Every structure is written in structure tokens, then in C-alpha cells.
């Protein structure tokens, strides 16, 4: 499997101990793109929470916010998502 062409992501189960630092930026970006495809656009401040929830993280801890924020920044820099008027949408 080519990681660059893979568009999926894995959801953390309730009994999993998979740390957010073990989730690749690519997986987080894939999840964010799916969230945006379903919602069309999401407020900038809400996107990390929506991605975390979709990945199975119920608590928005500092490490979760930081890791997801890094992935959002990468996705925006790569032109995969667009920020307009404080809302993200897919590119």
C-alpha cells in the first residue's frame, strides 16, 4: 500500500491505548478531509474537535489538539483544505 495514495484512517476503539502521537499526520488529514466532505465547511475552532471525535478521541487533551493542529497546518499548506472567513472547507 502506498501511504501517499491511501485515503483511509483508523478509529481508536474504547479499549485501545493508541496514543495520538501514534496516529500519522496523513491519517489525521484523511479524517479531516472526510469530515469536511460530509459537512462542506467547519468553523476553524471546531475542526480539531470534529476530527478528534471522528478518530475516536472523546477528550480534547492538549496532545490531541497539538497533533491535530499540526496535521491541519500541513493539509492547509499542501492545499488539501482551505481556510476562508474562519471556516475550513475541502480544496
Residue 9: inside a domain, yes or no? no
Residue 10: inside a domain, yes or no? no
Cα 1 to chain centroid, rounded:
21
Look up the pTM and report it. 0.88
Q: What is the pLDDT of residues 11-58, one digit of tens each?
A: 887 656 788 999 999 999 999 999 999 998 999 999 999 999 999 998
pLDDT at 74 over 90: yes
Q: For the chain, what is the domain count?
A: 1
* CATH label of the domain that carries residue 79: 1.10.10.10
Q: Which pLDDT score, from 0 to 100, does residue 9 have?
A: 81
Could you tell me which of 79, 37, 1 has the C-alpha nearest to residue 51? Answer: 37
Residue 7: inside a domain, yes or no? no
* Sheet order of strands, 87-90 included: 41-43, 87-90, 81-84
Quick check: helix, strand or coil at residue 89?
Answer: strand
Q: Please indicate whether residue 16 or residue 89 has the higher confidence score (pLDDT).
A: 89
pLDDT at 66 over 90: yes
Residue-range definition of the domain harbouring residue 62:
20-90
**Cα 87-19-7 angle, rounded to 5 deg:** 55
* Residue ranges with strand state E in 1-91: 41-43, 81-84, 87-90
Amino acid at each position: 500500500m502506498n501511504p501517499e495514495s491511501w485515503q483511509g484512517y483508523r478509529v481508536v476503539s474504547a479499549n485501545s491505548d493508541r496514543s495520538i502521537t501514534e496516529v500519522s499526520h496523513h491519517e489525521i488529514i484523511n479524517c479531516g478531509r472526510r469530515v469536511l466532505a460530509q459537512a462542506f465547511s467547519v468553523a476553524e475552532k471546531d475542526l480539531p474537535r470534529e476530527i478528534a471525535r471522528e478518530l475516536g478521541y472523546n477528550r480534547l487533551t492538549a496532545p490531541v489538539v497539538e497533533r491535530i493542529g499540526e496535521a491541519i497546518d500541513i493539509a492547509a499548506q499542501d492545499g488539501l483544505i482551505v481556510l476562508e472567513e474562519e471556516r475550513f472547507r475541502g480544496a
